[in-house]
């Protein structure tokens, strides 16, 4: 039984009991508990089922390395799957549920998989589900989906908020144990800007549990002293519950701060993602204890020795009444001693080593009356959902049982691995430490910054030193070195404090227990608890030729679970090395990638959700449109009215009404989104002649000209009307989505190719609200407003003029994208809404109605005007669209000219723009292809054209379309067949693309 002890629990506030539920059962813990410690206190050792065999799984660790205790947390808007019980703080009302079992945690049908384990070996996905192919979709995948998977996907929207925070510092210290704190003091007192991130809620790391004395005082008091001192330093920031998640190039670090995980109902962000730029990073990330590989090491009740100690000291929890300690090092003796001091029984310490003489800790243990069995190991653990005993064997043998000891917990220790993840994220190399059997940072090969110097330094246990005095000395040396390299002066009187030295006996690497374990035992010796990878699986992989650690990992799934192999990796690769008869360093490790430990997806998104998921650009008249029935269409980041619905009208009816009204009376279009670039300078004319396919330098002041822009490769990238303001100033209109892109395009050419040309470009798109006043009544409305002369004589087609209308300072362009009499009028954006209102009043008796982008599209299509993005798609050149008239023959050069002379561009078989008219007046499906005879080399039907724009024209009372067709302009009158995705075949005749007013009489009145 695991239970709460009457005394102990240094992190608990026993005055504050906390109620929570696990699988619906009401349980009780204390403030200061983690979910894991509270579950153990309630004898809830069984917390889940493994991924593949659905084996019962209990809590193994006490920190982020925990592989088993993953739970579904919370409900609805606060539901979160795969939460680690060991890192989840307990709070009142917490709801947790175990994962990956059916129908219940105690009785699980999937557990029969374990009897099938012979048929589910390493690489079983690849082996079993290859044939027949169809079975994958219908048999295997549904089966795997049902049986695999851990937590459930959340269904409700997350109700919490999240944020980012940008911070800068000289030194970022990851880890608030004794090493991190001591390094922080050294750096802080040297005057550096320091940030310390500690993943847990408390300072000091393992030291307060493991004990020892520093400068004559107990280490926990020493930690308190350091924290108190650090808090007085203004240049030091201490953050608890903030995990260094990843180290990236240029000293960039992500920190994951959990602000409300223990108080979900308090207002404020739940998580904060720190985005830090540090001149240097110190990784004081400590070390993680390794499990031992013996048969039955996955049975609930088998735990890491240090975790047993943590729960005892930190939370006053005993994981069992009788705990057998099994180890290959001295550190685990601390657990036995602590248990004994707490009045619990330790029937034996099973130590794989054979040593000439007892170390300090061994003597202590023996003095407490604990039986120490040197040279022994565990042959097998007895029990199902809970440990009931262990079978003892000789470590050197093959597992013959010498003795059975009954117990309800096993505390194991296979040695310690420094947490090298953050050191390695950005390329820090590792070296194999033979004495301690672990990989530690190779300080001669650190991750390098832009200056070629290392920007990460490990400190303390993270650099491979484990004794308290070594840890402190190492941290001081690390901080001292970093300070010096950054140019700070470390005060001379600063030195490392003296810690009491304990003489430990050396550890002995043990990768399998007993070392000659039979296949039967190896099949029960787990390496990866979460993904069910055993010693036998890794050996099989090696046998089948997976000699690279990266391949063996993927083949066996070792270390691929949500814990990323924090416990299993070293044991797994040592097993692989053993099977290959290779040494461990030559096998190497898999790659360490951020994040160190899973972080919430929402913290990565930060504030970017809901209203600010993406910036939406609004014109000055946006709100008016919104209150007048606008149905919105996204155009770039802008929102433009697609149509304005009146009464109960359908969108389609609204569009038809808008077209007819604009053709017959008068329409208003918010054209503010069109790009407006001022191009000015002595070389501006020359520059624009290069930018556009046609001549802009010859444009007269006061005039407008339509122009096309191509990329260097000849493809059409933008179009718009250009106006000449004065001798060396032009205004270029771009498409709505093109303003920033074309501005960048111009700047790029000016800065890289024609850097000596005297031209400046300014993007003034948003300075103006622009309104297109369109239709036969347009002039009357403007005359009603009064002010400048807008007559045909004073302001002809393709003229522009500055003036006043209705008291507004305006610039009027007589341009038309509709074929009607049309004025595009620009006013300063701050007056845009007022000007729009004035036009609505002036046009009231003239039949004014606003119109949206779909109406605009139909109006232009009726006139055969192309639209960038409809008729062009990045592969179209102006010549394809019959725009030869807008391509200057006189100019020596323009961007795209040479490209357009390439053989493929001059191929007469390039599809050409034509108009299309259905034979029955219906509307062609958008994007439909015209089929031709025969099949191509891939056995597909040959094509001879496609639809680029298609609408119902209320003006003409029939469907009209534009399309690109093989030799189209030469095939007028021919009928093409367009199969639709609706199963119907559409017939359309090739016609002139200008359907309406081909002579242009209406716009020129």
Partner 1 sequence: MSEPVSALKNISDLNGIAAIREIGPLGMITLRGDLSDRAVQDAAKTAGGANAPDQRKINAEGDGGVAWMSPDELLILCRYDEVPLRMTNLQAGLSKGHALAANVSDARAVFEVSGPRAREVLAKLAPVDLTPGQFEPGMMRRTRLAQVPAAFWMTDAETFRIVCFRSVAQYVFDLLKIAAQPGSEVDFF
Closer Cβ to partner 1, 680 or 814, answer by number: 680
- Rg of the chain taking only CA atoms, in angstroms: 38
Closer Cβ to partner 1, 439 or 730, answer by number: 730
Rounded to an integer, what distance in angstroms lies between the CA atom of residue 735 and that of residue 856? Answer: 13
Closer Cβ to partner 1, 502 or 809, answer by number: 809
Closer Cβ to partner 1, 238 or 372, answer by number: 238
Give the DSSP letter string of 937-955.
TTSPEEEEEEEEEEEEETT
> For residue 350, which of 375, 322, 369 has the smallest C-alpha distance?
375
Closer Cβ to partner 1, 807 or 969, answer by number: 807
Q: How far is the CB of 103 from partner 1 (least distance, A)?
A: 41
Compute how many other C-beta atoms are within 10 angstroms of the C-beta atom of residue 216.
11
Q: How far is the CB of 726 from partner 1 (least distance, A)?
A: 10
Q: How far is the CB of 761 from partner 1 (least distance, A)?
A: 8
Alpha-carbon distances, residue 430 vs 179, 420, 477, 678 (angstroms): 20, 8, 19, 57
Closer Cβ to partner 1, 452 or 610, answer by number: 610
Compute how many other C-beta atoms are within 10 angstroms of the C-beta atom of residue 816.
25
DSSP 140: I
- Cβ burial of 357 (10 Å; 0-12, 13-18, 19+) is exposed
Encoded tokens for 764: 């003034």
Three-state SS at 780? helix
Q: How far is the CB of 734 from partner 1 (least distance, A)?
A: 15
Contact 640, 736 (CB under 8 A): yes
> For residue 882, which of 860, 910, 916, 859 has the smallest C-alpha distance?
910
Closer Cβ to partner 1, 213 or 758, answer by number: 758
Rounded to an integer, what distance in angstroms lies between the CA atom of residue 1005 and that of residue 236? Answer: 75
Rounded to an integer, what distance in angstroms lies between the CA atom of residue 329 and that of residue 160? Answer: 45
**Which residue matches tokens 């009788």?**
322
Q: How far is the CB of 828 from partner 1 (least distance, A)?
A: 4
Rounded to an integer, what distance in angstroms lies between the CA atom of residue 26 and that of residue 31? Answer: 16
Closer Cβ to partner 1, 390 or 838, answer by number: 838
Closer Cβ to partner 1, 619 or 879, answer by number: 619
Q: How far is the CB of 231 from partner 1 (least distance, A)?
A: 12
Q: How far is the CB of 733 from partner 1 (least distance, A)?
A: 15
Q: How far is the CB of 729 from partner 1 (least distance, A)?
A: 8
Residues sharing a CB contact under 8 Å with residue 272, sequence separation 6 or more, in sequence order = 162, 163, 164, 165, 257, 259, 603
Angle 822-779-998 (CA atoms, 0-180°, nearest 5)?
A: 40
Closer Cβ to partner 1, 601 or 616, answer by number: 616
Q: How far is the CB of 82 from partner 1 (least distance, A)?
A: 26
- Please tell me whether the peptide bond between 264 and the residue prior to it is cis, using omega within 30 degrees of 0: no
Helix extents (H) in 899-1001:
none
Please give, one letter per residue, the 3-state secondary structure of 800-839. EEEEEECCEEEEEECCCCCCCCEEEEEEEHHHHHHHHHHH
Q: Are strands 941-953 and 958-965 parallel, antiparallel or unpaired?
A: antiparallel
Q: How far is the CB of 167 from partner 1 (least distance, A)?
A: 6
Q: How far is the CB of 868 from partner 1 (least distance, A)?
A: 20
Q: How far is the CB of 169 from partner 1 (least distance, A)?
A: 9
Task: Report the largest interatomic distance among the alpha carbons of the chain, rounded to a whole angstrom.
Answer: 114
Closer Cβ to partner 1, 826 or 877, answer by number: 826
Q: How far is the CB of 488 from partner 1 (least distance, A)?
A: 16
Residues sharing a CB contact under 8 Å with residue 850, sequence separation 6 or more, in sequence order = 625, 628, 641, 644, 658, 667, 668, 669, 670, 840
DSSP bridge partners of 456: 281
Phi (first) and psi of residue 423, to 5 degrees = -60, -40
Q: How far is the CB of 604 from partner 1 (least distance, A)?
A: 13
Closer Cβ to partner 1, 65 or 257, answer by number: 257
Closer Cβ to partner 1, 135 or 762, answer by number: 762
Closer Cβ to partner 1, 737 or 954, answer by number: 737
Q: How far is the CB of 730 from partner 1 (least distance, A)?
A: 12
Q: How far is the CB of 756 from partner 1 (least distance, A)?
A: 12
Contact 292, 395 (CB under 8 A): no
Closer Cβ to partner 1, 635 or 886, answer by number: 635
Identify how many contiguous H helices and E strands the chain contains and give both numbers: 25, 51
Closer Cβ to partner 1, 277 or 941, answer by number: 277
Q: How far is the CB of 834 from partner 1 (least distance, A)?
A: 3
Please give, one letter per residue, the 3-state secondary structure of 631-696. EEEEECCEEEEEEECCCCCCHHHHHHHHHHHHHHCEEEEECCCCEEEEEECCCHHHHHHHHECCCC
Q: C-alpha 947: how far from its chain's center?
A: 38
Encoded tokens for 334: 């601390």
Under the rule (CB under 8 A), what is the footprint of partner 1?
Answer: 161, 163-168, 193, 237, 266-269, 272, 275, 277, 606-608, 611-612, 614-620, 637-638, 678, 680-682, 758, 760-762, 764-768, 807-809, 828-831, 833-835
Q: How far is the CB of 736 from partner 1 (least distance, A)?
A: 11
Rounded to an integer, what distance in angstroms lies between the CA atom of residue 852 and that of residue 640? Answer: 7
> For residue 86, which of 38, 41, 49, 46 has the smallest C-alpha distance?
38
DSSP bridge partners of 813: 800, 824
Closer Cβ to partner 1, 374 or 764, answer by number: 764
Closer Cβ to partner 1, 227 or 887, answer by number: 227
């Amino acid at each position: 039984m695991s239970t709460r002890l009457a005394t102990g629990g240094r992190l608990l506030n026993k005055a504050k009991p906390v109620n929570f539920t696990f699988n619906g059962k009401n349980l009780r813990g204390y403030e200061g508990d983690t979910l894991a410690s509270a579950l153990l206190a309630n004898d809830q050792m069984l917390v889940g089922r493994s991924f593949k065999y659905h084996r019962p799984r209990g809590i193994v660790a006490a920190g982020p390395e925990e592989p088993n205790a993953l739970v579904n947390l919370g409900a609805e808007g606060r539901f979160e799957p795969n939460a680690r019980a060991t890192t989840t703080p307990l709070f009142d009302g917490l709801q947790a549920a175990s994962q990956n079992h059916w129908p219940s945690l105690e009785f699980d049908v999937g557990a029969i998989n374990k009897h099938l384990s012979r048929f589910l070996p390493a690489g079983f996905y690849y082996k079993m589900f290859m044939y027949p192919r169809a079975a994958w979709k219908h048999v295997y995948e549904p089966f795997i989906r049902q049986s695999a998977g851990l937590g459930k996907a959340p269904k409700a929207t997350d109700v919490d908020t999240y944020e980012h925070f940008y911070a800068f510092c000289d030194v970022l210290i990851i880890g608030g144990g004794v090493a991190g704190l001591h390094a922080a003091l050294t750096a802080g007192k040297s005057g550096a800007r320091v940030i310390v991130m500690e993943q847990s809620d408390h300072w000091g790391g393992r030291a307060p549990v493991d004990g020892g004395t520093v400068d004559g005082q107990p280490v926990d008091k020493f930690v308190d002293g350091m924290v108190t001192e650090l808090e007085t330093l203004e240049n030091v920031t201490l953050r608890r519950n903030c995990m260094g998640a990843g180290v990236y190039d240029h000293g960039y670090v992500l920190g994951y701060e959990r602000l409300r995980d223990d108080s979900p109902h308090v207002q404020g962000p739940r998580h904060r993602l720190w985005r830090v730029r540090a001149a240097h990073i110190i990784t004081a990330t400590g070390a993680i204890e390794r499990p031992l590989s013996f048969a039955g090491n996955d049975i609930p009740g088998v735990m890491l020795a240090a975790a047993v100690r943590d729960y005892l000291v930190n939370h006053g929890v005993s994981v069992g009444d009788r705990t057998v300690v099994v180890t290959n090092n001295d550190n685990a003796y601390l657990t036995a001693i602590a248990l004994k001091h707490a009045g619990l029984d330790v029937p034996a310490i099973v130590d794989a080593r054979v040593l000439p003489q007892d170390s300090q800790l061994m003597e202590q243990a023996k003095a407490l009356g604990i039986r120490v069995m040197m040279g022994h190991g565990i042959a097998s653990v007895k029990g199902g959902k809970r440990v009931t005993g262990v079978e003892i064997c000789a470590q050197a043998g093959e597992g013959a049982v010498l003795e059975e000891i009954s117990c309800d917990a096993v505390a194991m220790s296979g040695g310690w691995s420094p947490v090298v993840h953050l050191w390695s994220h950005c390329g820090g190399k590792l070296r194999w430490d033979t004495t301690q059997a672990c990989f530690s940072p190779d300080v001669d090969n650190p991750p390098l910054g832009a200056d070629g110097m290392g920007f990460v330094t490990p400190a303390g246990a993270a650099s491979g030193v484990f004794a308290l005095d070594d840890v402190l000395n190492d941290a001081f040396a690390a901080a001292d070195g970093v300070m010096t390299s950054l140019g700070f002066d470390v005060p001379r009187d600063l030195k490392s404090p003296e810690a009491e030295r304990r003489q430990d006996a050396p550890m002995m690497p043990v990768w399998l227990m007993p070392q000659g374990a039979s296949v039967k035992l190896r099949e029960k010796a787990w390496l990866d608890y979460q993904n069910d990878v055993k010693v036998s699986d890794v050996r099989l992989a090696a046998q089948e030729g997976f000699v690279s650690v990266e391949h063996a990992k993927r083949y066996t799934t070792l270390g691929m679970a949500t814990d990323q192999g924090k416990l299993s990796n070293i044991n797994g690769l040592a097993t692989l090395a053993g099977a290959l008869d290779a040494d461990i360093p030559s096998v190497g490790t898999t790659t360490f990638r951020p994040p160190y430990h899973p972080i919430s997806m929402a913290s990565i998104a930060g504030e970017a959700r809901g209203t600010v998921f993406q910036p939406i650009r609004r014109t000055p008249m946006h709100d008016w449109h919104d209150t007048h029935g606008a149905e919105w269409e996204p155009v770039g980041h802008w929102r433009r009215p697609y149509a304005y619905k009146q009464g109960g009208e359908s969108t389609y009816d609204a569009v038809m009404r808008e077209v007819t009204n604009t053709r017959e009376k008068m329409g208003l279009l918010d054209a503010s989104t069109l790009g407006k670039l001022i191009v000015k300078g002595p070389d501006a004319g020359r520059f624009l002649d290069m930018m556009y396919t046609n001549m802009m330098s010859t444009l007269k002041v006061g005039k407008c000209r339509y122009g096309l822009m191509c990329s260097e490769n000849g493809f059409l990238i933008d179009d718009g009307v250009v106006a000449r303001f004065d001798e060396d100033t032009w205004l270029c209109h771009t498409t709505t989505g093109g303003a920033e892109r074309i501005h960048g395009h111009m700047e790029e050419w000016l800065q890289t190719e024609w850097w000596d040309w005297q031209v400046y470009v300014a993007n003034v798109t948003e300075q103006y609200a622009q309104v297109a006043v369109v239709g036969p009544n347009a002039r009357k409305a403007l005359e009603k407003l009064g002010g400048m002369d807008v007559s045909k004589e004073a302001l002809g087609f393709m003229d522009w003029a500055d003036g006043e209308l209705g008291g507004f300072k305006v610039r009027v362009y007589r341009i038309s994208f509709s074929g009607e009499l049309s004025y595009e009028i620009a006013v300063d954006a701050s007056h845009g809404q007022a000007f729009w209102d004035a036009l609505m009043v002036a046009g009231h008796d003239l039949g004014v109605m606003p119109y949206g982008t779909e109406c605009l599209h139909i109006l232009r299509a009726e006139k055969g005007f192309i639209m960038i993005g409809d008729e062009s798609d990045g592969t179209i050149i102006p010549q394809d669209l019959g725009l030869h008239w807008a391509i200057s023959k006189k100019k020596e050069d323009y961007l795209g000219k040479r490209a357009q002379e390439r053989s493929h561009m001059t191929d007469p078989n390039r599809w050409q723009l034509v108009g299309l008219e259905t034979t029955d007046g219906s509307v062609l499906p958008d994007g439909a292809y015209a089929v031709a005879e025969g099949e191509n080399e891939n056995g597909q039907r040959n094509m001879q054209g496609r639809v680029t724009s298609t609408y119902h024209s209320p003006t003409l009372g029939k469907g009209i379309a534009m399309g690109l067709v093989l030799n189209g302009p030469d095939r007028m009158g021919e009928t093409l067949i367009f199969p639709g995705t609706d199963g119907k075949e559409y017939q359309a005749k090739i016609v002139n693309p200008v359907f309406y007013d081909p002579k242009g009489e209406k716009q020129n009145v």
